[in-house]
Amino acid sequence: MTPDPADGIYVCTQEASLAVEARAIRVGEDILVWIWGGTRPHIGAVAAAQPRPSLAQPDKKSATCSVLTYPGHKEDEIVKPVSEHLSAVLNTHVVVTAGIHWDGLSQEEISEIGSRIGEITRLLTVKLQKQELSK
């Protein structure tokens, strides 16, 4: 997929093997994120997060989230933390969908994909914050 700047923000991991990609677009003040990777990108789970004061520290932002996961998929482990993080940091509603698939992954490769999701989350956060500042 060739990124088009008109379609929002595009980020991808630096490593080609087990590459993870994402695109984020603004929908009014809200943000919609699609994360994909592997041999069969798809929609495995969707999370919708909204910002709120932290329950432990009311002076800090947090987020609450609802997740829908298709049976047999594990992308809920991706979409929940990404949507909550972006919603809390950017103080807006965020919807994240993800579908990542590779056959026969080892535990080490699964851990590496988790690291890649962290990288994608950091890249999205920085670019979305810069976009917010340029408004």
- The 8-class DSSP code of residue 110 comes to H
The tens digit of pLDDT for each residue in 86-104 reads: 999 999 999 999 999 999 9
How many C-alpha atoms does 28 have within 13 Å on its Cβ side?
A: 5
Confirm whether pTM is higher than 0.85: yes
The tens digit of pLDDT for each residue in 25-50 reads: 999 999 999 999 999 999 999 999 99
Report the C-alpha gap between 67 and 79 in whole angstroms: 8
- Residues ≥6 apart with Cβ < 8 Å to 13: 19, 20, 21, 116, 119, 120
Q: Where are the domains of the chain?
A: 27-101+119-135
Residue entry with tokens 């984020």: 24
Q: What is the β-pairing status of strands 20-27 and 30-38?
A: antiparallel
Tokens of 12: 């991808």
